[in-house]
Chain A
Amino acid sequence: MKLPNWRNQALDPLIWLTVSSSMIIIAFILLPLFEMVFQSSLADLRETIRDKDVIQSIRLSIYTSVSAALISFLFGTPFAYLLARKEFAGKKFIESIVDLPIMIPHPVIGIAILSIAGKNHWLGEIMSSLGIRIMGSVTGIIVVLTFVGLPFYVNNVKTGFEAIPVRLENISRSLGASAIGTFFRVTFPLAWRSMVVGMIMCTARAISEFGAIVIVAYHPMIAPVMIYQRFTAYGLRYSQPVAVWLIIVCLFLFLLLRVFSIHKKKMT
């Protein structure tokens, strides 16, 4: 068997460009993270995870992010289905609106949410009369995280629905299933994986949110706010272990995402 001529391949400028760019990007992402992880001693990490405030902030981060993902699932699924299946006037405009939260600077999102949640707005007044508080509350955090995470869920699930041929749904209808029956017997079993991936994306995005949260709800403290607070009050050394724990949680979420994505690829 003739071996490939690696020397000639290595001389190809395109290969050089792609390999060197890839290495720069990987280093750019990993270096600061590794540095932060290895600068924190095991003793610091152990001590941090015993700190009730830290545990509570990480737990709150997970709880609020997962809640945001569940709300996205509940409202975003029918919406994604509509966008994937129907053509209507202004569809492109609606799709752009879905992407808005990705583009708006995060503090602006916080300010925007506060501007309708205050008592000088009719919606804020209604919520207040119902006992719903946004400012400085867990509800407020969930609202913000849903706002920033929803586009990731909707776009992912929309793509998932689009990948299912409409003809499968047509056949199901012709065989006697109603539109809703068809959704649960054909569309959902074929799209649930994209929903799971969408929810993981939404959770991952939500868990990293900081800019909008500090405006709407500094307290109760989610993990990114706690990291910021420890950094400003005590310095880098005290904020690093909390950050490491948050990274471990995020890493776990992304590993889950990769596992589901690989399965999804195999299916199609």
Chain B
Amino acid sequence: MIRIENLCVRLPDFSLHKIDLRIQAGEFFTLLGPTGAGKTVVLEAVIGLVPVSEGRIWINSRDVTRLPPEKRGIGIVYQDYALFPHLTVYENIVYGLRYHKKDGKKTGKNLDFIVDRFSLRRILGRSILNLSGGEMQRVALARALAVDPSVLLLDEPLSALDPNFREEIREILKMLHADTGITVLMVTHDFSEAQYLGQRSAVINKGRLEQVGTVTEVFHQPATPFVAKFVGMKNVFPAIFEGRKAYVANLRIELGFEESERKKYIAIRPEDIHIRGDKFPPGTPNCIEATVSKILNQGFYSDVIIESAGIELRAIISSSSLFRMSLTEKTRVYAAFDTSVVHAF
């Protein structure tokens, strides 16, 4: 279990502001945010590598705020593997064992299990300078787990890998968590990783937590405009709410339910906006006539930006639909979205 209470870190060019997180024992928790948001600083505060100005950090009900890193019992894996270049694969894995002796004997009874689980037996004697990215990350994971840490921190462990290895390590992480039930705190900027691996997530921006919740909650019910954009809700607008309707400038949006007037924004996913060349059947909610202002080809699909009543909406259509509708800039189109896909916050 990791408990972070009111954590403040002040560095010369960056600050963390009152971070509160509670990660349950055995949970796979992901901390999301763009580059420079402060994710790694949170990890480094938990592990004891940056000075904490205020707040407390508990690991399994032990206050570790003032303990040096070596006394905290935390394993960490970095995106760039950070393997010791002067040691072999085996020497890397057993590096920490001498510091974790029980009754005068080295621990590491799970060493064989780890070596086999990560398929490292045949490369144990190799220098780490000749390993592939996937092998290096497996060694880094094995090294962190060999000392049987209470919690495992992962700093973007998939970012530096090419797609094949990324999938392999992602599977290993999932399997590892299922097998060992270890508490994991992973930071990433990729929401799909959080969706695949994480149970709960927090989103951080400019050193402040924006939202904490289950991955589904964060994905479907973002609490702030930043989170909404971060999880792919490209259409975020300030809105005025009136009963079952919301107004974005001159655009009236049906909500299908009565929304509190205290809400300030609406957000719609681009994939939830349908576009066609002819009119939608009468009675279709939120049907608008618009002009295509830009088409961004993304390969298998295209982002189509349409403009109506001074508002720009982003929709996604497949390349075949784009071809069939022969859409170009300035084409008049009809767009519609269901009331259920409008998220108010």
Residues of A within 8 A of B (CB): 87, 165, 167-168, 170-179, 181, 185-186, 189-190
Contact = CB atoms under 8 A, between A and B. Distances in A.
Nearest to B95: A175
Nearest to B101: A176
- Across the A-B interface, give the 9 residue pairs with the lowest CB-CB distance, nearest first: A176-B99, A175-B96, A173-B69, A167-B82, A189-B86, A174-B76, A176-B96, A171-B82, A176-B70
Q: How large is the interface on B (under 10, 10 to 19, 20 to 34, 35 or more residues)?
A: 20 to 34
A185 B84 CA distance: 10
B314 interface: no
Nearest to A171: B82
A173 B74 CA distance: 10
A173 B49 contact: yes
A186 B47 contact: no
Contacts of B82: 165, 167-168, 170-171
Contacts of B70: 173-178
Contacts of B189: none
Contacts of A190: 85-86
Contact of A170 (B49, B96, B98, B100): B49
Contacts of A168: 82, 84
A189 B96 CA distance: 17
B69 A170 contact: yes
A22 B25 CA distance: 67
11 contacts: A167-B78, A170-B76, A171-B76, A172-B95, A173-B48, A174-B74, A174-B75, A175-B70, A175-B75, A178-B70, A181-B99
B68 interface: yes
Residue in A165, A176, A181, A185 whose Cβ sees the most chain B Cβ within 10 Å: A176
B39 to A, nearest CB: 15
A64 B49 CA distance: 42
Nearest to B71: A176
Contact of A177 (B72, B76, B99): B99
Contacts of A170: 44, 47, 49, 69, 76, 82
A167 B68 contact: no
B147 A173 contact: no
Contacts of A167: 78, 80, 82
Contacts of A186: 84
A167 B80 CA distance: 9
B104 interface: no
B12 interface: yes
Contact of B78 (A171, A177, A178, A189): A171
**A interface, by DSSP: helix, strand, loop or mixed?**
helix
B76 A176 contact: no
B138 interface: no
Interface string B18-49: 00000000000000000000000000100111
Nearest to A167: B82
A174 B96 CA distance: 9
Interface string B42-81: 0010011100000000000000000011101011101010
Nearest to A189: B86
A178 B68 contact: yes
Contact of B12 (A87, A173, A178): A87
Contacts of A185: 95
Given A170-B44, A175-B99, A179-B68, 15 more contacts: A87-B12, A165-B82, A167-B82, A168-B82, A168-B84, A171-B78, A171-B84, A174-B70, A175-B70, A175-B143, A175-B147, A176-B99, A189-B86, A190-B85, A190-B86
B40 to A, nearest CB: 10
Residue in A170, A178, A186 whose Cβ sees the most chain B Cβ within 10 Å: A170
A173 B84 contact: no
A189 B75 CA distance: 23
A171 B149 CA distance: 13
A87 B143 CA distance: 30
Residue in A175, A179, A186, A189 whose Cβ sees the most chain B Cβ within 10 Å: A175
A172 B86 CA distance: 13
B128 to A, nearest CB: 11
A174 B72 CA distance: 8
B47 A174 contact: yes
B151 to A, nearest CB: 11
A170 B44 CA distance: 9
Interface string B87-127: 00000000110111000000000000000000000000000
A189 B72 CA distance: 26
Contacts of B100: 176
A235 to B, nearest CB: 54
A170 B77 CA distance: 10
Contacts of B44: 170
Given A167-B82, A170-B49, A190-B85, A176 B147 contact: yes
Contacts of A87: 12
Contacts of A165: 80, 82
Residue in A167, A185, A190 whose Cβ sees the most chain B Cβ within 10 Å: A167
Nearest to B48: A173
A172 B87 CA distance: 13
A5 to B, nearest CB: 40
